[in-house]
Amino acid sequence: MYRLLSGVAAGALLMASGAAFAADLPGKFPGVTIDAKLIGGQQYEKLYERIGEWEKATGAKVNVISKKNHFDLDKEIKSDIASNSITWCVGSNHTSFAPQYPGIYTDLAKLLPKEEIDAFVPANIAAGTLDGKLVMLPRAQFDVSALYYQKSLYQDEAKKKAYKEKYGEDLAPPDTFDEMAQQAEFFASPPDFYGTQYAGKEEAINGRFYEMLIADGGEYLDKDGKPAFNSDAGVKALDWFVKLYKAKAVPAGTTNYLWDDLGQGFASGTVAINLDWPGWAGFFNDPKSSKVAGNVGVKVQPKGSSGKRSGWSGAHGFSVTENCANKEAAASLVWWLTNEDSQKLEAAAGPLPTRTKVWEWDLEQAKSDPYKTEVLQAFQEAAKNAFPVPQTPEWIEISNAVYPELQAAILGDKTSKQALDDAAAKATQILQDAGKL
């Protein structure tokens, strides 16, 4: 599977030459305190329990000065840049967000041994490399979405009969987005049970719209870098969200949902089908956290009308700031949070690793676990269809302008075409102001 993932991101592995300062990892840094800004959320928290081990091993301390979802963290980092107040050392990063911060993060290839960096899947390193600088070391959080569903719904004889009578088709986990929408409406029984759900704000809804647009044969930016999503394919993609909301097949609050809301929603047993990230796989099947444990099926993400599957993807990681007074200690912490032991810890719960040997370990572990095998097989197929967001530093700024327009269409305040035309005008202005058009 790691061979498949090596083709996910384009570009060659770029490495800076020179000796690594932190060759004797994790090193000794008595009296040093590393201030950190980290992503928070259910699927990310377990890893941070290892910080205490790093402190004990190195003699340093970690002061987590901020822990937020990545959208709020992004806003905070931009505020720090604007006020020239980047006094912290380590920050959570993501391949979709990293192009916005070209100058604030240092080159980790100059701080860590080459053999450690070579241990990662090359495509993940390439995705964290900007202008020849390795600005981010990826954690075991490679993201592409697959379809989770409640198996019992598809085994229920009464439901199978009713579905056949209504649609003239056999009830089976959906393979297209049209089938997914049809089944979501069929299963929905609001306000107690919903067919599906989606994250309805921030980059989350724009990213989902983006991958649906691609699956429907459209493009977000054209070959000249101009917004092109207000097309027939764009209208079809946005209508998918609008119709589900209008049919009450999704929760009424879905336009305010982010990823943790989706995870908790599916785990509550009140949602039939859920397009979501690999990091939730263990959570969904754990009886301590999930009412659907033992009842979860997983399959490759659906196809759009063009025959393409969706596949919006990226990877989480950690970066070290140029302003950090103790870069070697900070790089050691970043290495610790992404080393083999850390990646095994995260991968055991479902997230996809970014180190080659941990992929091998993960596949071996799955042999005795049917659910884990199903998860890895589904995400192996999902990874074949993975593609990044448009590679422009303005992606998040554009997302922040576009998503309120998507919400306006979903809520019925605008038609899909009107909303997309307005969104395209805003995106065009952003790119013009940035000198890109």
Per-residue HEC secondary structure of 59-77 comes to CCEEEEEEEECHHHHHHHH
| Residue 315: closest CA among 261, 353, 358, 344 | 353
| Residues in the chain with pLDDT values less than 70 | 1-23
Provide the pLDDT for residue 349.
87
Phi, psi for residue 185 in degrees, rounded to 5 = -65, -40
Distance from chain centroid for Cα 94: 8
Beta-carbon neighbour count of residue 91 at 10 Å? 28
Structure tokens at 146: 């697959």
With 0-12 / 13-18 / 19 or more C-beta atoms within 10 angstroms meaning exposed / middle / buried, residue 25 is middle
pLDDT tens track for 322-363: 999 999 999 999 999 999 999 999 999 888 999 999 988 998
Tokens 């720090």, located at residue: 80
Q: In the Cβ-directed half-sphere of 237, how many Cα atoms lie within 13 Å?
A: 31
| Residue 144: closest CA among 174, 129, 123, 164 | 123
Structure tokens at 194: 């919903």
Residues 6+ away with beta carbon under 8 Å from 84: none
CA–CA dist 11, 391 (Å, integer): 12
CA–CA dist 158, 402 (Å, integer): 42
Is the separation of the CB atoms in 321 and 23 below 8 Å? no
Provide the pLDDT for residue 383.
87
Tokens 């799955």, located at residue: 366
pLDDT tens track for 165-174: 999 999 999 9
- Average pLDDT over the chain reads 92
Structure tokens at 97: 């967000």
DSSP character at residue 353:
P
pLDDT tens track for 126-167: 889 998 999 999 999 999 999 999 999 999 999 999 999 999
Provide the pLDDT for residue 75.
93
